[in-house]
Amino acid sequence: MQLYADLRGRRTRQLVTDTLVLTWVLVWVAVGRSIATHISDAGGSARHMEDGGRDFASSMSDAGDRLRKVPVVGDDLKPPFDKASQAGSSISQAGRDIQDGFDRLGLLLGILVAALPICLVVLVWAQARWRYARRVETARKLDALLHEESATEVVRHMVGLDLASLGLLSRHDTATAVQSPAT
């Protein structure tokens, strides 16, 4: 399959078009990555939530452990701090979940923003390139057929007609019939 034309001007246009399509794809991939990064960075405030929840959980756990050492009432003072520590852990987990959500959203939107224009342009470009390759292939087959047979045979072959079954003779058959004497 021939991808590029033999004629210099057409080949130049094809190469320029291929370069423009490649540039288009690279630009949209960069735009998609940029969008993904910005959206993912927007989840950065959830990092503060995660860190704060983790610090709060750690502080409450430490306070409960210290209060537990208080004689007589220590065991009664620890449970509220343990519950507060669990709440801090929940806040920390929520912060991680929000960050993961922003990361996934960024990836999805980055892909969608890049994929739509890339697919549209590549689809049009691929159709044009495929059509060109098919035309070249057809022209080569026709050229090979013309070198092998007479023009009538080529047309007959392309159309799929059998002139003899219609009671007609091709010029080649007519010329042969005229040259050979009847018996």
Q: Per residue of the chain (183 residues), what is the pLDDT tens digit?
A: 677 788 888 889 999 999 999 999 999 999 999 999 999 888 888 888 888 899 989 888 888 888 888 787 777 888 888 888 899 899 899 999 999 999 999 999 999 999 999 999 999 999 999 988 888 888 887 777 666 666 666 666 666 656 555 555 555 555 554 455 554
Q: Does the predicted TM-score (pTM) go above 0.75?
A: no
Alpha-carbon distance of 25 to 33, in angstroms, equals 12
| Helix, strand, coil share of the chain (percent; to 5) | 85, 0, 15
**CB-based contacts of 25: which residues, under 8 Å, 6+ apart?**
118, 121, 122
SS3 per residue for 139-176: HHHHHHHHHHCCHHHHHHHHHCCCHHHHCCCCHHHHHH
Q: Within a 10 A sphere around the Cβ of 179, how many other Cβ atoms?
A: 7
The residue with tokens 């990064």 is 37
Q: What are phi and psi of 74, to 5 degrees?
A: -60, -40
Q: What are the structure tokens assigned to 135, written together?
A: 């035309």
CA dihedral for 97, 102, 103, 104, sign (positive or negative)? positive
